Amino acid sequence: MRSLGPRMEVAVAMTILGVGAAVVAAMHLTWPEPELPAMAYAVSNGEAGVADLKPFEIDDISGAPVELTPGSEGARLVRLSNPNSVDIIVMTLQAVPGQPLDAAHNRVPDCPSGVLTVVPMPEPVSIPPAGSVEVEMVVRISSDVPDACQDSIFPLTYSGRATRG
């Protein structure tokens, strides 16, 4: 395998950290019991001065899925945790809906993911060392939802960016 050289290796590592990781949770257009628990996953960035920080964690703690009818709004409760010994500020948090799934976890091709939107976290939040905060993410369903979307599950991919507090 060919070496990229030290500068390129650092650039690749910074790019990977800058993109961050994500967590997936589910939004439902009905109110079935969730079959899979929401997962926590670490997210970090590649900005200068944060290389020594551990990534913060995102955990969708909403519990049951949210029932959404055409034109309605709901919310997901998300816990952000700081595993560091210093304050951090979570600058951004957003969630992107994935391809909707049916009850058997098969893709629903006639239901576009764009019928669901998630409003990004409105302002940065500070998290104390080894602490956590809970934020609410507003979700909206379009008023013109195709019939194919009925009883669909929308996976959400959360991502964010933090810096030293």
Torsion sign, CA atoms 31, 111, 135, 13: positive
pLDDT in tens, the chain (165 residues): 444 454 444 444 433 333 333 344 444 443 333 343 333 344 444 555 566 788 899 999 987 777 888 899 999 999 999 999 999 999 999 999 999 988 898 999 999 999 999 999 999 999 999 999 999 999 999 999 999 998 888 888 899 988 888
pTM of the model: 0.70
Closest CA to 145 of 90, 84, 87, 97: 97
- Residue 14's SS3 state is helix
Domains parsed from the chain with CATH numbers: 6-164 (2.60.370)
Distances (CA, A) of 61 to 14, 26, 90, 99: 30, 11, 18, 21
Residues 6+ apart with CB under 8 A from 72: 140, 141
CA 109 to chain centre: 22
